[in-house]
Amino acid sequence: MNQDTICAIATAQGGAIGSIRVSGADAIRITSRIFTPAKSGKTLADCKPYTLTFGKIHDGEEIIDEVLVSLFRAPHSYTGEDSTEITCHGSSYILQQVLQLLIKHGCRLAGPGEYTQRAFLNGKMDLSQAEAVADLIASSSAATHRLAMSQMRGGFSKELTELRNQLLHFTSLIELELDFSDHEELEFADRTELCRLADHIEGVISRLVHSFSVGNAIKNGVPVAIIGETNAGKSTLLNVLLNEDKAIVSDIHGTTRDVIEDTTSIGGITFRFIDTAGIRETNDTIESLGIERTFQKLEQAEIVLWMIDATDATSQMNQLSGQILPRLERKHLILVFNKADLLGTAHSDEVLSAASSIIPDAECIFISAKKRQNTDVLQKKLIAAANLPTITQNDVIVTNARHYEALTHALEAIGRVQQGLANNLSGDFVAQDIRECIFHLSDIAGEVTNDMVLQNIFQHFCIGK
């Protein structure tokens, strides 16, 4: 249990109402020093927990503001400690004055994520739930919100707990046999049943590991690379999709010399668009570096929009297909023929015919990025290409890279268990691999996490949470 009492502003600036959180053993006493209830003869310490008390914040005789104070008593609070929350007017001056008074009377300014860290240390939530708090605050779409809520409510934790309990039962049976190793006729752990249990656990862990590709796409955005020759309209399309002038648009070839990235939500799905340098032969050192980065980003993309000037489509496809197509394994390619407003119907048919001969079965669309023609259809194609499942708050999907790494190690360990059982290895070898699997699953919940890991996790939280 932490001994010092912390305080911090918990609301963003600019609102009509502001909130300051106080947590720690002296939270109520310190708040009482600067707060007087409106009801005569009443003190904050006399108030029942989970109630609001109206009164005034004062510095000596000077009244700072009329406020409401919420009271929580340990262990029934967010942090598990005695806590108060002061709701005042949203003036930055008032908020700072209240904060300074609290510090003057014994509080310490909270660090990033310290409230949630205390909640974890005091057993109010495990580490995966604590990390979900940051994801919930950062959620920018319905899908990311649902995933964060599921994890914060303990859906992921419950699944991990069930796996750990099964593994503990598993290893206890094997280790019981080891204790009676002198009696060869005794077998507490039925090998057929253990193999069945190991297969089940492997299946669950494997499902969680494979869910990371979906979870990562939902959380960080489906990566979409916009590639093509110079002056094909890549930057114009980026601006249309983002609905802002993010990239410089010019008729001069080679204007985009570096990668430009930004995210936006389309149909409830977050896409991370990557506008790349135009691909062409050049002696310009800076532009060449930009083209090199284009191919690096192409490797990271799941969806590729190959922008092609429709007025010169056959030539551009012939020139770049050798460089682009070998890099598109397991990627969804959409050929985007831009400047379609300059084409006639007959010419469009010629372009499609050329595309089918150069890139068989390619998905094609004609647009005019400049005039925003058919860009809505392109957005629908992007949603279909993302192919993300509908997410509910009951779905358990891994979105955190730390969790993914631990689960990968756990999957390797349970794989060795399966192999050991199949080869009739000694129980002590099998038990060691089971313990390793339990260790990695426990690492996710924070049961074996060291201070350095905790510091790295919580330093990315906002102050006040």
pLDDT reported for residue 17 = 94
Chain center to CA of 58: 42
Establish whether 340 is an annotated binding residue. yes
272 annotated ligand binder: no
More confident residue, 425 or 390: 425
Helices (H), ranges, 8-47: 27-34
Task: Give the burial class of 158: count Cβ atoms within 10 A of its Cβ; 0-12 exposed, 13-18 middle, 19 or more buried.
Answer: exposed
| CATH number of the domain located at residue range(s) 226-267+274-386 in this protein | 3.40.50.300
Residue 253 marked as a ligand binder: yes
* 80 among annotated binding-site residues: no
CB count within 10 Å of CB 93 equals 10
Task: Please state whether the peptide bond connecting residue 75 to the residue before it is cis, i.e. omega within 30 degrees of 0.
Answer: yes
24-67 per-position pLDDT tens digit: 999 999 999 999 999 888 899 889 999 999 999 999 899 999 99
* 256 in a labelled binding site: yes
Residue 254 annotated in ligand binding:
yes
Tens digits of per-residue pLDDT, 347-389?
Answer: 888 888 888 888 888 889 999 988 999 999 999 999 998 888 7
Q: Has 236 been labeled as part of a binding site?
A: yes
Distance CA 105, CA 363 (A): 67
Percentage of residues in the chain having pLDDT higher than 90: 32
Residue range 78-97: mean pLDDT, rounded: 95
Distance CA 130, CA 120 (A): 7
Look-up of token digits 């950062």:
138
For residue 27, what are the CA distances in angstroms to 1, 44, 240, 340?
A: 14, 11, 51, 66
Place of tokens 């918990």: 10
Most confident of 88-92, 297-301, 424-428: 88-92
Please give the pLDDT value at position 293.
64
231: annotated binding-site residue? yes
Work out the number of other CB atoms within 10 angstroms of the CB of residue 192: 8
pLDDT at 257: 40
CA distance 423 to 410: 20
145 is in an annotated binding site: no
376 is in an annotated binding site: no
pLDDT for residue 195: 86
Q: Is 338 annotated as a binding residue?
A: yes
234 among annotated binding-site residues:
yes
> Among 211-225, 241-255, 311-325, which stretch is predicted with the lowest mean pLDDT?
241-255
Amino acid found at 130: A
Residues in the chain: 465
Q: What pLDDT does residue 250 have?
A: 44
* Rounded-to-integer distance, Cα 52 and Cα 409, Å: 48
Is residue 344 within 8 Å of residue 366, measured between CB atoms?
Answer: no
Choice between 291 and 134, residue whose per-residue pLDDT is larger = 134
251 is in an annotated binding site: yes
Q: Identify which has the larger pLDDT, 206 or 327.
A: 206
Asked whether residue 53 is marked as a ligand-binding residue, the answer is no
Predicted local confidence at residue 246, as pLDDT: 54
Which H or E run contains 225?
strand 222-228
DSSP state of 36: E
The reply to whether 427 sits in an annotated binding site is no
Structure confidence at residue 56 (pLDDT):
95
- Residue 399 assigned to a binding site: no
Flag whether 331 is marked binding.
no
147-173 tens-digit pLDDT: 888 888 888 888 888 888 888 887 777
Q: Which residue has the higher pLDDT, 404 or 183?
A: 404
CATH code of the region 6-110: 3.30.1360.120
400 assigned binding-site residue = no
Is there a binding annotation on residue 341? yes
Is 344 marked as binding a ligand?
Answer: no
Q: What average pLDDT is seen over the chain?
A: 83
Domain boundaries, the chain: 6-110, 140-211+396-445, 226-267+274-386
Is 365 within any annotated ligand binding site? no
122 carries a ligand binding annotation? no
392 annotated ligand-binding residue = no
Question: What are 420-438's pLDDT values in tens digits?
Answer: 888 887 777 888 898 899 9
**Class assignment of domain 140-211+396-445?**
mainly alpha
pLDDT in tens, 189-230: 567 888 888 899 999 999 999 988 888 888 888 888 888 887
